[in-house]
């Protein structure tokens, strides 16, 4: 349950979710402070005199110091992060010390993020997931659109779940694209949007294929949850896919009502699935 008296820190990456969280705090009267990541957070994130500090990715120590000064009690990390430039990664002193401490222990995205959380919580700031504050963002279970998956789509979803589950166990990615039983591509460093665009070049004639997006089996629910928005549907449509299957209760949907409306308009399906129902 959200504690409206505790000051919330927001580490804001790209996309509209950070601003949605800010608007929620304003509506609920909850105090907050934003660390906006340069090259990622939208300019609109900090409009209208929002209390904030812009930082590079390498200035994590500077950002943490400011959060402590602001007396932040809880923290949410939300939004997409693009591959940083060399300049972005030049570390401040505390960030240098952090990497020296974790060394090779924090391999993979999840391992690094868990180490970051441990560092933050060591300063008495509790890291929480956005779903603890805005549970309405999580995908429900079942069909969300008018269009239903075809028999072939369901076969492809099953194949995609198996592949995505193994992919997630290796801490590589969350998304897989399957067409007629053939895995066209798996998500790595490029992210879901680029995966979808890339796979358009590999499609065969016939049924369009599906995007399957799951939370990694070992993934901390507080960080980097699978997320889809209207852009996901738009890219999937342009690449000729039939629809999207997402991990029910574990995937964030940006502006769910608008996404469903748009998917219906494009004649695509969106379905919230329980992976266990598709694993043998």
42-83 per-position pLDDT tens digit: 999 999 999 999 998 888 889 999 999 999 999 999 998 876
How far is the C-alpha of 38 from the C-alpha of 28, rounded, in Å? 27
Q: Exposed, middle or buried by CB within 10 Å (0-12, 13-18, 19+), for 148?
A: exposed
How far is the C-alpha of 159 from the C-alpha of 178, rounded, in Å? 7
Q: What is the DSSP letter of 43?
A: G
- Give the residue with greater pLDDT, 81 vs 138: 138
250 touches 140 (CB < 8 A): no
Helices (H), the chain: 17-28, 60-69, 86-89, 93-102, 108-121, 130-133, 151-169, 192-199, 230-238, 256-266
166-184 per-position pLDDT tens digit: 988 888 889 999 999 999 9
> What is residue 205's predicted lDDT score, i.e. its pLDDT?
85
Domains of the chain (ranges; CATH) run 8-133 (3.40.50.20), 138-277 (3.40.140.80)
196 touches 239 (CB < 8 A): yes
- Give the residue with greater pLDDT, 224 vs 35: 35
Banded model confidence at residue 104, pLDDT cuts 50, 70, 90: very low
228 touches 262 (CB < 8 A): no
137 touches 231 (CB < 8 A): no
Banded model confidence at residue 117, pLDDT cuts 50, 70, 90: confident
Q: What is the DSSP letter of 264?
A: H
Whether the per-residue pLDDT at 152 is higher than 60: the answer is: yes
| List of long-range contacts for 166-170, beta carbons under 8 Å, 24+ apart | 168/214, 168/215, 168/216, 168/217, 168/218, 168/219, 169/216, 169/217, 169/218
> What is residue 97's predicted lDDT score, i.e. its pLDDT?
66
197-220 per-position pLDDT tens digit: 999 999 988 779 999 999 998 888
How far is the C-alpha of 86 from the C-alpha of 197, rounded, in Å? 26
Write down the pTM of the prediction: 0.85
Mean pLDDT, the chain, integer:
89
């Amino acid at each position: 349950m959200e504690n409206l008296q505790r000051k919330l820190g927001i580490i804001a990456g790209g996309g509209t979710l950070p601003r949605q969280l800010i608007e929620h705090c304003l509506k609920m009267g909850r105090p907050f402070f934003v660390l906006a990541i340069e090259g990622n957070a939208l300019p609109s994130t900090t409009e209208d005199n929002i209390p904030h500090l812009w930082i590079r990715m390498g200035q994590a120590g500077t950002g943490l110091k400011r959060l402590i000064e602001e007396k932040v009690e809880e923290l949410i990390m939300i939004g997409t992060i693009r591959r940083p430039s060399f300049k972005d990664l030049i570390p401040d002193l505390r960030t240098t010390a952090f990497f020296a401490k974790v060394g090779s222990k924090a391999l993979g995205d999840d391992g690094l993020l868990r180490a970051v959380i441990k560092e933050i919580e060591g300063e008495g700031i509790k890291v929480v997931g956005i779903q603890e504050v805005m549970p309405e963002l999580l995908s429900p279970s079942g069909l969300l659109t008018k269009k239903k998956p075809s028999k072939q789509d369901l076969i492809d979803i099953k194949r995609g779940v198996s592949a995505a589950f193994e992919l997630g166990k290796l801490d590589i990615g969350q998304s897989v694209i399957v067409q007629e039983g053939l895995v066209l591509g798996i998500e790595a460093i490029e992210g879901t949007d680029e995966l979808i665009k890339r796979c358009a070049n590999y499609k065969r004639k016939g049924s369009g294929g599906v995007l399957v997006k799951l939370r990694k089996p070992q993934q901390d629910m507080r960080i980097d949850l699978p997320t889809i928005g209207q852009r996901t549907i738009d890219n999937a449509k342009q690449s000729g896919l039939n629809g999207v299957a997402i991990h029910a209760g574990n995937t964030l949907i940006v502006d769910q009502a608008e996404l469903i409306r748009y998917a219906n308009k494009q004649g695509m399906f969106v379905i919230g699935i329980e992976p266990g129902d598709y694993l043998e």
